[in-house]
Structure formats: structure tokens, C-alpha cells
Amino acid sequence: MSLLRVPDRSRPRRLRLPAVLATGVLVAAGLAVDAGAAASGAPAGVESAGDRFTERPGRGAPYKNPRLSTERRVADLLSRMTLEEKVGQMAQAERADVSADPGQIADLFLGSVLSGGGSVPADNTPEGWADMVDAFQEQALSTRLGIPLLYGVDAVHGHANLNGATVFPHNIGLGATRDPRLVERIGAITAEETRASGPQWNFSPCLCVARDDRWGRTYESFGESPVLAARMGTIIDGLQGSRRGDLDDPEHVLATAKHFAGDGLTTFGTGEGDYTIDQGITEASRRDFARLALSPYVPAIKHHDVGSVMPSFSSVDWTDDGLGNPLKMHAHDELINGWLKDKMDFDGFVISDWRAIHQIPGDYATQVAVSVNAGVDMFMEPFSGDTVGYPQFIETLVQLVEDGTVPEERIDDAVSRILTAKFELGLFEDPFTDRRHIDEIGSPEHRRVAREAVAKSQVLLRNEDRTLPLSSSDDVYVAGSNADNIGNQAGGWTLTWQGGSTNVIPGDTVLDAIEDAAHGDVTFSADASAPVPAGAHGVVVVGETPYAEGFGDVGGPRWGWDPGDGGVLRPEKTMLLSEADTAAVETVCAAAASCTVLVVSGRPMIIPPELLEQTDALVASWLPGSEGGGVADVLFGKRPFTGRLPVTWPRSVEQEPINIGDADYDPLYPYGWGLRTGHRGHHR
């Protein structure tokens, strides 16, 4: 028999229900207002929202009246819903699960659908996305109450699932810019491109603080400092607008602060079932946890008013209580209900991560009950090859409410939060995709901002004899595995979940950009097998191949394994340069007039002393995305180097974890290091 961990309800709790509902007072009937025609982007043959509301009973219901407050509209709608309709709002399916039978959306009263990484419509164009989302929306609107659907997507560095979207540097590169205003602009462009193609909800930003670069999600972090992560929370304002009241603007989306909390602090060797870092255990005192894990969420909630929060797969083990009893974040009543909702007064909703509740001990009913009672409001429950998914979640939760295991007031609280977001997004008035900005997706203007971000993210680590900037009149010899590979340059979460070396997106590789910027001769040889012309300056672009999440972890049985390669060991994922890249650096540095090495990677790479000695200039280029031109801009002096390290650059993998403030701190390059172009040895 499984034991349910029922939260302590003896302490006073503030339930997030509108006062008019909580006191049992009926909401007065509002003015009968037609919802109006759907957005101009509604697909051919689709009825407008106004037509549907006219046909269904209760056209004059208060919840359909946009002149009333959101609180009154939520209270009215909730009072009309059955238990099955409420629980359906708490369930989220994956696009692939409902594509074959979209009628499930209506039959199960589903509240949300998402696209996982790489889950795209057959027509992976802006129009194809918008048509897909609108077709799903049509099913949601066909239900008795016509509650619109909320569609979510991981637009973590631009809407990169969509082929043709602007692909920005990953967060680690944005952290290197130290430019919160630029990051806010990036959020605004991401939101505009995402919503113009259908989705109204972005599972971003990641506010994790990466304290161990062996973690496969390091590049999703803005850096190792919680202060830096908090500063970059301005991306929320770009995504949502300066306040949540801007959400109904077709240029904004609902943002998600993730992964709450401590996913960047997990201890190497404490993963469950293996020795991975991702989804492991955060072992920390309460004080350290508050400083390193919780602090970035304070401004995200209090200042930026983020609309949703996603818990982490990881567990938390308080080291100062001596109990040694790790608890999964999705079951953590003290942190979700207690800290997030009560102490921080978070009034958005909590969305689970991908099937994350299945990692909670116990049978499925136990997993659902524990997580709902801990404060999770919506559940990402795709089938993912299993027989248990969103239909079973709905059936299970209804039964748990009926037998008293989950209080119906907890259901009302969760659904009120979800409905509030839908009203704030304006989905009841304009449920279909507003396509007015669809032609701006991937526009030259947007790509110019991405190029600026790339240039500002470049960190000049070494610049002997003022090697950089190069003269545009120089002859240049380009080598290395990442010089002409836009898939490697973009990294994970690009077209597919893991990304891929063979993935191609619109944009410029580093080689393309060098060829555009240089007026002298440019020779390219990926493996440096072609002779280096006399007097040519060498640029060797090395680094990693793409990965995402645990598949990028360094250590344990999953060390360097790539599902896209059928389980082939990939030593380049160990923070070490591949033999081919090392050989290319040695060859070019021995023959070229000067030797510049660019490291295209999601985290620091280990540069052996003997290799560093051969290198005149060393640049951390991170994962720049689609705009290689930003790399060439600083390489040739069109823009100055201004980037600063967002993480400590270690001398060896054995130094990990290494972070600013550690005892015996002796990195190759410290946190915050970055040279200005032409100023040898100047520490900024």
C-alpha cells in the first residue's frame, strides 16, 4: 500500500480563489457582449469565436463579458464547471498525442497542448504552425463552455523549433553580454515570432544557476552567479510585456520561470539510477539553497510578475537537518505551496515538467495526489511511449477528488490560476492566431538583434601580441569542426530536442561570416589538411556537437552518449577537445602568421597548457545560433570585444565544480574575465 504525503493544512493558508466565489456569493449577470470575430488569422472554414458563443447557450454569461474584471469572469466560469471540466483544464497533452484524434481535446476538456522539443507540424512553417494551433483551438471552443486552449512550446533561444525563426545565442552566451536590456529585446522578438505562429506560452526562461559545468544543461543557464541570473530576468518583460496586463497583445506570450528550484546545484554522482548530474539531488543547507537556487525567482515574481513556474526534475536534500531524505521538487509542498505561493505570493500557475511526477515514489494515484496537494496546477502528461498519460491523469484525479484524497478547493485554486492566465492572454476574445506579425518571423531586423547579441557574447580570453582584431585585408586560413556547421553552432533545442550536426537553419556559419568580412583570400580546410598559405592568419573553430539535458552530462553511464547516434560514445562531450580539433589547432598554429582559436560550445572546454601556448588568441564563442556574422564582427574589429565570462573556466575537468568564491580558487580564467580588443592582459 502506498502512503500519501498529505501537506500539513493546520497552518493558515490563503486560497487563491476570487473572493466572490470563496464566500459563496453568486456573481451578478454581466452585460451580454458578443465575443467578436476571431482574429484574421483563423483558418478557412473555422467559425469565429463570436459565432460559436452566439450558438451556444449562455451567450450573455459574465465570463464572456470583457468589461468585467478577470476575477469576476474566473469566478463565474468556475461556478459553471463540472469536476471533469475542471480537471481537464489541469491536463496538458503533447501535439503528437492529439494530432491523430484532435477530438480528444473536446472530449477530455483539455486545458493545454504543447510541442516538445522537435515536435512540429508536417508543414514546419509559420503558417503550418498557426494552422495546427488553430485547428486544436477549434476543438477546445466546441465544448459546452468554449474554454480556449493554451499552447506551449520551448522557445528557449528563439522559437527554434520553427524552421526560419530567429535563433539567438543560448543563455550562457547572453549571460556573457551582461546586457539586461538586450536580453529584454531578445525576449520581445521571441515572443512576437512565437505568438505570430500560434503558441501563446513559452517554457522559458531558465533561471538555474549552473554550478557544475559537467551538467548537460549548463548552456541553458545565464551563469554561475545567482545575481547574474536575476539580472537577466528582464527577458520575462520582453516575453510578457512590462506587466501581465500586456499579455493580450499579439506580440507577447506567457513566460515560465524554470526549473524551480536547484537544478543547477545537483551533486555529481547522486543521480537516481546512474551518476548523471541532470535530474539529480541538490544537497545544500537551507541558507545556501536560498542564496543559490531561490534568489533569482524573487525578482522574477515580485518585479517581472512571471505568469507560470515549472518545477525541476531534481530533488532537494537539506544538509543542515541531517536526515538525508531527498524529496522530489514536484512533491515539495514546503517550496511550492509554502515558499512560492504563500511567502512569495505567486499568483500565476505551476506547470509540471515532462512526465516528471512519474519520478515520485509510489503508484500513479499516489504520484498525482502528492503533486497536486504540493501545489502543482497543470500536468504535462504526454504518453511518451507509455500507456499512462493525460487521459489516465484526468481519470485518476477525478477519483482522488471524489474519494477525498485531494480537496476540491485545491482543484478550484489550480483551475482559477489557469483560467486567469487565459483571460489575461485575451484568448476568450481572440482565441485564434493573430497573424499580423507572421511575415516578421526571421526578418532581417530580428536577425540584426541576434547578430548584436552574438558579438556582445564573445569573450576574449587570450590576445597575445594584440593578435585581434584581424585586418579585413589579411589572408585567412579557416579550420576546425565547428567553422562551417550551423547545427553545431546552434546547439540543442534547435529544430529537434537534442539539436544535431546535420540540422540546417537559415543563417550564417562562422566561415560564411569570415568570407563576407575578409577582403583577402580565405582558405577553408576543416581538418587542416590543406597547406596554410604563407602569411595567412589562422582561425580554428573547435568545440562541441549538440546535446540537451542529461545526454550532455559528463560522467556516469550516460557519459557522452547521444541517442541520435544509436548510443555511440562521443568523447567530444567530455569538456575535452576532440583529437581532430586538437590536431587542427596544432597544425594551423605551427604554420600560420597568427593563430586564433574560437571555442563554439555550451560550456568551457579544457585547453591543455601545451595547446594554449601555441595559441595567440582564444575566444569563447558559446553557442551563437544563426548569426555567425556576430563572431566576424569582433574578429575583424567592426565591434569591440566586451563579453565577460558568466562561468569560471577551469584548467581541468577534475577542478569541477569550480565557482567564484571557492577556497583555493585557481581557474584558467576566473568568472568575469574578458579582455578588450587590443588591450593585452587587461582584466575587465
Q: What is the pLDDT of residues 420-429, one digit of tens each?
A: 999 999 999 9
Integer Cα distance of 446 and 458 in angstroms: 19
Task: Tell whether domain 19-439 is in CATH 3.40.228.10.
Answer: no
| Mean confidence (pLDDT) of the chain | 88
pLDDT reading at 1 higher than 70? no
Nearest one of 170, 218, 158 to 194, comparing CA atoms: 158
pLDDT of 454 > 70? The answer is yes
- Any idea what DSSP says for residue 156? B
Residue type, position 227, single letter: V
For residue 56, pLDDT over 50 is answered with no
Mean pLDDT of the 586-600 span: 98
- pLDDT given at position 385: 77
Phi, psi of 319 (to 5 degrees): -80, -15
How sure is the predictor about 68, in pLDDT bands with cuts at 50, 70 and 90? very high
Exposure string over 646-665, b if 16+ CB within 10 A, otherwise e: bbbbbbebebbbbbeeeeee
Quote the pLDDT of residue 269.
65
Indicate if the pLDDT at residue 272 is higher than 80: no
State the pLDDT at residue 682: 39
Averaged over 50-59, what is the pLDDT?
41
In this predicted model, what pLDDT tens digit does every residue of 536-552 receive, in sequence order?
Answer: 999 999 999 999 998 88
CA 473 to each of CA 11, 256, 518, 541, 615: distance values in angstroms, whole numbers, following the listed order: 73, 47, 6, 20, 21
Helices 180-196 and 444-457: angle between axes, nearest 10 degrees: 150
Bridge partners, 477 (sequence order):
523, 538
Q: So which residues are the catalytic ones?
A: 353, 549
State yes or no: pLDDT of 51 exceeds 80: no
Q: Are 223 and 209 in contact (CB under 8 A)?
A: yes
Task: Quote the pLDDT of residue 565.
Answer: 45
Domains of the chain by residue range: 19-439, 458-655
pLDDT exceeds cutoff 70 at 12:
no
pLDDT in tens, 549-568: 988 887 543 444 444 444 44
Q: CA nearest 462: which of 583, 596, 577?
A: 596
SS3 50: helix
**CATH topology for the 458-655 domain:** Rossmann fold (3.40.50)
Q: What is the pLDDT of residues 496-506, one digit of tens each?
A: 999 999 999 99
Q: Which residues pair with 496 in a beta bridge?
A: 494
CA torsion sign, 14 to 15 to 21 to 25? Answer: negative
The DSSP code for 283 is: E
Q: Which residues pair with 537 in a beta bridge?
A: 476
Integer CA distances (angstroms), 19 to 87, 406, 415, in order = 21, 22, 15
Report pLDDT for 276. Answer: 61
pLDDT in tens, 620-670: 999 999 999 999 999 999 999 999 999 999 999 999 999 999 999 999 999
Helices marked H in 25-148: 49-55, 70-80, 83-89, 95-99, 103-107, 126-141
Q: Which amino acid is at 95?
A: R
Q: Could you read off the pLDDT of 428-438 as tens digits, one per residue?
A: 999 999 999 99
Question: Kind of pairing, strands 201-202 and 522-524?
Answer: unpaired
Q: For 245, list phi and psi in degrees, rounded to 5.
A: -65, -10
Quick check: 72 and 62 in contact, CB under 8 A? yes
Centre a 10 Å sphere on the Cβ of residue 20 and count the other Cβ atoms it contains. 18
Map grid coordinates 552567479 to a residue: 225
For residues 216-221, give the mean pLDDT.
Answer: 96
Cell numbers given for 636: 575583424
8 A C-beta contact, residue 310 and residue 352:
yes
**Per-residue pLDDT, 558:** 42
Characterize the bridge pairing of strands 327-328 and 315-318. Answer: antiparallel
The answer, yes or no, to whether residue 270 has pLDDT greater than 60, is no
Residue 206 DSSP SS3: strand
Q: How many CB atoms lie within 10 A of CB 327?
A: 21
Could you tell me which residues come within 8 angstroms of residue 404 by beta carbon, excluding any fewer than 6 positions away?
none
Q: Is the pLDDT of residue 35 over 70?
A: no
Q: Are the CB atoms for 112 and 91 separated by under 8 Å?
A: yes
In this predicted structure, the answer to whether residue 73 has a pLDDT above a threshold of 80 is yes
What average pLDDT does this structure show over 63-74? 97
Q: How many residues does the chain have?
A: 684
**Cell numbers at 375, concatenated:** 501545489
What is d(CA 659, CA 138) in angstroms, rounded to the nearest whole number? 51
Q: What percent of the chain has pLDDT over 90?
A: 82
pLDDT at 325: 86
pLDDT, tens only, 275-318 = 468 888 999 999 999 999 999 999 999 999 999 999 999 999 99
Per-residue pLDDT tens for 171-208? Answer: 999 999 999 999 999 999 999 999 999 999 999 999 99
- Comparing 19 with 185, which gets the higher pLDDT? 185
Where do the DSSP E strands lie in 159-236? 201-202
Q: For the residues 96-100, what does the mean pLDDT come to?
A: 95
- Segment holding 600, helix H or strand E: strand 595-600
Please tell me the predicted confidence (pLDDT) of residue 452.
Answer: 98
